[in-house]
C-alpha cells in the first residue's frame, strides 16, 4: 500500500521529463572554478561548498581525475597539525565532516592522504565529546544531532569502528532522547521535530547499528506526512512549505527506513527457515513472519519485488522526482528550493541527492551473512535521468565510504 497516491498523470506532459545534465554541469564547474576567487569572503564554508559541488559531479558521473587532484590539494592545505580539517585555525566538526566526505569522493589510494593523522583526529573527537554521548562543534561550540552526526561519520571514515569504540558507546542514548512526541527529531527535549535533525539522527543510529532503539512506528508516520499532497516534494516541519533540499533530508530518511525494513524481513526469513528446518515433518505449512509494515509477500517471489507499487519507500517516489524535475531546475543550470528562487550549490547537491534516493529506494542492501540485494529502480521521465546510487548514511556514491574506511584501517 502506498500512503500517498500518484495523483497526476505523468503522460500529461507533452515531452519527456528530463534532467538537464549539460547546463547543470556548466553551473557546477563554474561554481567550482569560482571557489578560489570570488568566494574568499565565505572562506569557512569552502569545505562544504567543495563537497556539495564534488558530490553533484559524482552523482552525474562527471567527477574527473583533474578535479579530484585539485580537491586533494585543497584538503592537504586544510589539514591541521593537531588533527582534523579547517580553513581557520581550530578544527570544526562541520569542516571535518565535509572534508572527510571530499576525501572519500576523491582519494584513490593511501598515497592521496599520507599526511592525514587518524590518531590526532581521534584526540580532537575526544575533546569534542560530551558525557551524554553527544559532541560539540568546537571546544565551546553547540551540541545537536547534526554535530554528533558529523563526528560519528568522520570517525568512521578515518577508519574507526564506531560500533565498538567506547567513545560512541552512549551516542545512541543521546540521539534517542531527541525523538519528539511527533516521531521526528529535534535539538533538545521539548523542541520541534525537524527533517534535518531527523536525518542526522537516523543516519547516526544506522551507522552505529542501533536504529531499533527508537520508536520506528512514530518516526515512519512523521516522515510519511512530510510529502506534500499537491507539490509532491517534501517539507521539513509540520505546516511548512515544500523545499527541494528536503528531497534529501526526508528522502534519505525514508531510504534508511526502507533498508531497515528489508533487513528485518531478511532476518525474519532466515530465522523462520532455521526454525522450520529444525521442526519435525508436517510443520512445513507454518506461515512466514510478517514484520515489514505495509508489505505482504509471496514466499515464491523476492520479498522486495511487490507489484502493487513501484519502489519500496513508504512515499510516492515518482512524485518527489516530478517536483525536482519540474520545479527545481534553474533555466541557466543548478537546482533550487522552489520557483522563483535562484539555484545555489547547496540545493543543487541536495536536490540531486533526493532525485538519486527516490530513483533507487532502499538501493543496495548488504546483510550480515554477506548476501546483497538491490531494490527495484524507479526512474521518472527520460532513462538518462538516472543518477549514481548514493549511500544515504553518508550522502556520497555507494561504496566510497567503505573504501576510505578500509584504506584508513590498513595504513
Ligand atoms: Zn532548502
Domains of the chain from N-terminus onward: 10-273+289-410 (1.50.10.20)
Q: At what angle do helices 65-78 and 93-106 cross, to 10 degrees?
A: 150
Annotated active-site residue in 79, 259, 266, 347: 347
Contact criterion met (CB below 8 Å) for 170 and 133:
yes
Distance of CA 269 to the CA centre of its chain: 27
Q: How far apart are CA 192 and CA 93, in angstroms?
A: 23
Grid cell 545534465 in the structure block, residue: 21
As a whole number of angstroms, the longest Cα–Cα distance in the chain is 75
Query: How far is residue 290 from each of residues 68, 211, 267, 285, measured CA to CA in Å?
Result: 46, 19, 11, 15
Query: What are the φ/ψ torsions at residue 365 (nearest 5 degrees)?
Result: -120, 125
SS3 label, residue 129: strand
Contact criterion met (CB below 8 Å) for 359 and 317:
yes
pLDDT score of 270: 81
Quick check: is 337 catalytic? yes
Contact criterion met (CB below 8 Å) for 176 and 219:
no
Ligand 1 centre to CA of 243 (Å) is 5
Ligand 1 centre to CA of 267 (Å) is 37
User: Going by C-beta distance under 8 Å and a sequence separation of 6 or more, which residues neighbour residue 3?
Assistant: 224, 294, 314, 315
Nearest to 103 by CA among 403, 411, 410: 403
The mean predicted confidence, pLDDT, of the chain is: 88
Ligand 1 centre to CA of 67 (Å) is 26
Quick check: is 245 catalytic? yes
pLDDT score of 53: 98
Ligand 1 centre to CA of 298 (Å) is 41
| Residue that wins the pLDDT comparison between 1 and 152 | 152
Annotated active-site residue in 106, 150, 178, 245: 245
**pLDDT for 296 beyond 90:** no
Nearest to 393 by CA among 369, 351, 363: 363
pLDDT score of 190: 81
Average pLDDT over residues 387-408: 98
Please give the model's pTM, rounded to 2 decimal places.
Answer: 0.88
C-alpha angle 399-55-196 in degrees, rounded to nearest 5: 95
Ligand 1 centre to CA of 227 (Å) is 15
User: Going by C-beta distance under 8 Å and a sequence separation of 6 or more, which residues neighbour residue 401?
Assistant: 104, 156, 157, 391, 393, 394
Ligand 1 centre to CA of 22 (Å) is 23
Annotated active-site residue in 112, 243, 312, 391: 243
pLDDT score of 368: 84
Annotated active-site residue in 240, 263, 374, 386: 240
Residues 212-254 pLDDT 10s: 999 999 999 999 999 998 999 999 999 999 999 999 999 999 9
Contact criterion met (CB below 8 Å) for 238 and 194:
no
| Set of cell numbers at residue 317 | 517516489
SS3 label, residue 323: helix
Grid cell 528485518 in the structure block, residue: 264
| Set of cell numbers at residue 96 | 571535518
Annotated active-site residue in 112, 144, 312, 337: 337
Contact criterion met (CB below 8 Å) for 201 and 149:
yes
pLDDT score of 363: 93
pLDDT band of 283, cuts 50, 70, 90: very low
Rounded to a whole number of angstroms, the CA Rg of the chain reads 21
Ligand 1 centre to CA of 248 (Å) is 10
SS3 label, residue 408: helix
Grid cell 516522515 in the structure block, residue: 223
Beta bridge partners of 397: 390
Contact criterion met (CB below 8 Å) for 33 and 57:
no
Ligand 1 centre to CA of 327 (Å) is 13
Residues 114-125 pLDDT 10s: 999 999 999 999
Contact criterion met (CB below 8 Å) for 67 and 30:
no
Quick check: is 243 catalytic? yes
Ligand 1 centre to CA of 120 (Å) is 34
Annotated active-site residue in 112, 144, 344, 391: 344
pLDDT score of 4: 41
Average pLDDT over residues 354-373: 92
Contact criterion met (CB below 8 Å) for 382 and 15:
no
Q: How far apart are CA 157 and CA 105, in angstroms?
A: 11
Q: How far apart are CA 235 and CA 212, in angstroms?
A: 25
Quick check: is 92 catalytic? no
Nearest to 312 by CA among 372, 376, 355, 388: 376
Which of 41-55, 221-235, 313-327 is least confident?
41-55
Quick check: is 106 catalytic? no
Query: What are the φ/ψ torsions at residue 40 (nearest 5 degrees)?
Result: -60, -25
Quick check: is 344 catalytic? yes
Quick check: is 117 catalytic? no
Annotated active-site residue in 246, 304, 323, 350: 246
Residues 79-108 pLDDT 10s: 999 999 998 878 999 999 999 999 999 999
pLDDT band of 353, cuts 50, 70, 90: very high
Ligand 1 centre to CA of 176 (Å) is 26
Residues 161-207 pLDDT 10s: 999 999 999 999 999 999 999 999 999 778 999 999 999 999 999 99
| Percent of the chain at pLDDT exceeding 90 | 75
Amino acid at each position: 500500500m502506498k500512503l500517498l497516491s500518484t495523483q497526476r498523470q505523468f503522460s500529461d506532459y507533452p515531452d519527456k521529463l528530463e534532467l538537464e545534465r549539460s547546463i547543470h554541469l556548466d553551473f557546477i564547474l563554474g561554481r567550482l572554478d569560482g571557489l578560489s576567487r570570488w568566494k574568499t569572503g565565505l572562506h569557512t564554508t569552502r569545505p562544504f561548498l567543495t563537497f556539495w559541488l564534488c558530490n553533484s559531479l559524482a552523482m552525474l558521473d562527471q567527477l574527473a581525475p583533474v578535479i579530484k587532484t585539485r580537491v586533494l590539494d585543497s584538503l592537504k592545505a586544510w589539514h591541521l597539525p593537531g588533527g582534523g580539517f579547517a580553513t581557520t585555525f581550530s578544527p570544526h566538526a562541520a569542516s571535518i565532516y565535509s572534508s572527510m566526505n571530499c576525501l572519500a569522493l576523491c582519494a584513490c589510494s593511501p598515497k592521496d592522504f599520507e599526511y592525514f593523522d587518524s590518531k590526532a583526529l581521534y584526540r580532537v573527537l575526544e575533546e569534542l565529546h560530551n558525557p551524554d554521548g553527544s559532541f560539540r562543534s568546537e571546544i565551546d561550540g553547540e551540541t545537536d544531532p547534526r554535530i554528533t552526526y558529523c563526528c560519528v561519520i568522520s570517525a568512521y571514515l578515518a577508519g574507526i569502528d564506531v560500533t565498538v569504540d567506547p567513545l560512541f558507546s552512549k551516542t545512541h542514548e543521546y540521539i534517542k532522547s531527541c525523538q519528539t512526541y511527533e516521531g521526528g527529531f529535534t535539538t533538545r527535549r521539548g523542541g520541534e521535530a525537524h527533517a534535518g535533525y531527523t536525518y542526522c539522527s537516523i543516519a547516526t543510529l544506522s551507522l552505529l547499528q542501533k536504529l531499533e532503539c527508537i520508536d520506528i512506528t512514530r518516526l515512519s508516520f512523521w516522515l510519511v506526512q512530510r510529502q506534500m499532497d499537491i507539490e509532491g516534494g517534501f517539507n521539513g516541519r509540520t505546516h511548512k512549505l515544500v523545499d527541494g533540499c528536503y528531497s534529501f533530508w526526508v528522502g534519505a530518511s525514508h531510504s534508511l527506513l526502507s533498508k531497515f525494513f528489508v533487513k528485518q524481513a531478511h532476518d525474519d526469513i532466515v530465522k523462520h527457515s532455521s526454525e522450520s528446518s529444525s521442526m519435525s515433518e508436517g510443520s512445513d505449512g507454518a506461515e512466514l513472519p510478517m514484520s515489514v509494515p505495509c508489505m505482504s509477500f509471496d514466499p515464491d517471489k523476492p520479498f522486495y519485488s511487490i507489484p502493487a507499487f513501484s519502489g519500496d519507500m513508504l512515499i510516492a517516489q515518482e512524485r518527489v522526482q516530478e517536483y525536482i524535475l519540474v520545479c527545481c531546475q534553474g533555466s541557466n543550470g543548478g537546482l533550487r528550493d522552489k520557483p522563483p528562487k535562484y539555484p545555489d550549490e547547496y540545493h543543487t547537491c541536495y536536490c540531486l541527492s533526493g532525485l538519486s534516493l527516490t530513483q533507487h529506494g532502499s538501493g543496495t542492501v548488504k546483510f550480515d551473512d554477506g548476501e546483497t540485494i538491490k531494490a527495484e529502480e524507479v526512474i521518472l521521465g527520460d532513462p538518462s535521468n538516472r543518477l549514481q546510487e548514493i549511500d544515504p548514511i553518508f550522502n556520497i556514491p555507494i561504496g566510497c565510504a567503505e573504501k576510505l574506511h578500509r584504506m584508513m584501517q590498513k595504513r
